[in-house]
Structure formats: structure tokens, C-alpha cells
Amino acid sequence: MFWNLLLAHLTGDFILQTDWMIRNRNKFWVSLLHGGIHFGLMVLLVGRSRAADWPALLLLAGLHISQDALKTSLVRRHPELLRAAFILDQIVHLALIQIFIRVFQLGPKTGEVIQKPTLVIVIIAYLFATYVWFIIERTFNQSDPDALSWISDTKYRRMLTRGGLISAFLLVRSWVLPGLAMVLPNLPDSSKYRRRAWVTDITVSISVMAFLFWALGWPP
């Protein structure tokens, strides 16, 4: 169940939270929309247990809204704490998911067979290595306009690079998955961020490969 709710969180907090929502998150109805998206994704991804689990998931979405409001207020007063607030915010979100799973016993009930959600874990790996990492990198470079512009300009080719590395890894593991071509960053030689791209993209890709080994229990 943790993996399903983690996928809901990554999708709601990174993929479906647009720049417009981020700029207007101080408005209550925008925060409510963001929380509603999280709630809908969680209910959708918990599967057959949704009929019993939705009240707890609604409470979890409410806590998500409150937590985001606290983070927004803190960063507005202390912009220099953006990075620390972002990291702490994500840690607390993930901790709350785990706490709710244990306290409210979310997921399959007694007697039901629990299988490891392999596809969900692989999707999480791809999301983190591509778009989620782009958002993290952009957040951590808010104080450097040049780097921020470069990150935005090269986001698709670098996402393809990291996604391609993960695909190559999965194919080597003899997975029956469509693989992307491994395309290295095609950045101008004059770019002062070229070395950073190589180091960052390869490090993130290797980290996600290690995550897959751990999460999927390789070797069996």
C-alpha cells in the first residue's frame, strides 16, 4: 500500500501541481483543489480497499493541505529556508503516509493476498528519475536565474537521458518493457553546466537503479 500512496503523492505533488497552482497556493480554494487531487489519486490507487479506507485518506489529504499552508507561510517569511522547507515537507508527507497505513490499517484486509506492486514501483522509478528530479533541481536553484533558465531549457533531453539509462538497466535485467534509446545530454560545449549535467543525471539514474534493486528484492 505504501508504494501505491507514494505514486499518488508524486503524481499529485509534482506532475499535477502546475506552476499556476504553485504561484497561487496561498489562496484557499487552490490549496483545496490541490488536496482534492491528492485525495482522488489516493482513492483511485488504493484499489479495492477504497470503500473502507476513504475516510482516512480524506483526513490525510486534509493534513496535506495544512502542511502545505505552513510551508508556504514559512517560505514567504524566510525565502532562504526554501530548500530546507522543501526537504522537510517531503519527509513529513512520506512519514504521514506510513503512519496512516499502520494506524488505520490501510490496504488489503486480513486474509487477502498481498503482492508486491512491481509495475507501480517501476512507474515511481521513472517518475522520480525524470520529471520529479527536474522539479527538485529547479527548486534547489531558485536563487540562481542562469542555472534555472538552463535547467528549463534542457529539461526534456536530460529527462530522456535519465529515463533511457533506467530503461537500459531494466532491459539488461531481461524485463519485457519498451526501452528508450540511451541519449546522452546534447549540450553545447560552451555550457558551464555540462559537467553538472553528466554528474547529476548519471548519479540520479544509478540511485534509482539501486532503489529498484532494493524495492523489488533483486536478486530474488
78, 19 Cβ separation under 8 angstroms: no
161, 202 Cβ separation under 8 angstroms: no
- Does residue 178 have a pLDDT over 70? no
Query: Which pLDDT belongs to residue 174?
Result: 53
Query: Distance (Å, rounded) from C-alpha 210 to C-alpha 220?
Result: 15
Closest CA to 34 of 59, 7, 9, 53: 9
Confidence of residue 9 (pLDDT cuts 50, 70, 90): very high
For the segment 79-93, what is each residue's pLDDT rounded down to a tens digit? 999 999 999 999 999
58, 72 Cβ separation under 8 angstroms: no
- Does residue 216 have a pLDDT over 90? no
Q: Is 59 exposed, middle or buried (0-12, 13-18, 19+ CB in 10 A)?
A: middle
Query: Which pLDDT belongs to residue 182?
Result: 43
If one compares 81 and 184, the residue with the highest pLDDT of the two is 81
Answer whether the bond into residue 219 is a cis peptide, omega within 30°: yes
Give the pLDDT mean for 182-201: 65
Query: Distance (Å, rounded) from C-alpha 13 to C-alpha 29?
Result: 16
- Does residue 71 have a pLDDT over 90? yes
Query: Which pLDDT belongs to residue 13?
Result: 96
Query: Which pLDDT belongs to residue 48?
Result: 85
Query: Which pLDDT belongs to residue 181?
Result: 39
Query: Which pLDDT belongs to residue 177?
Result: 43
For the segment 39-66, what is each residue's pLDDT rounded down to a tens digit? 999 999 998 888 899 999 999 999 999 9
Q: CA-based angle 118:120:124, to the nearest 5?
A: 115
- Does residue 22 have a pLDDT over 50? yes
Query: Which pLDDT belongs to residue 111?
Result: 55
The three cell numbers of residue 126 are: 521513472
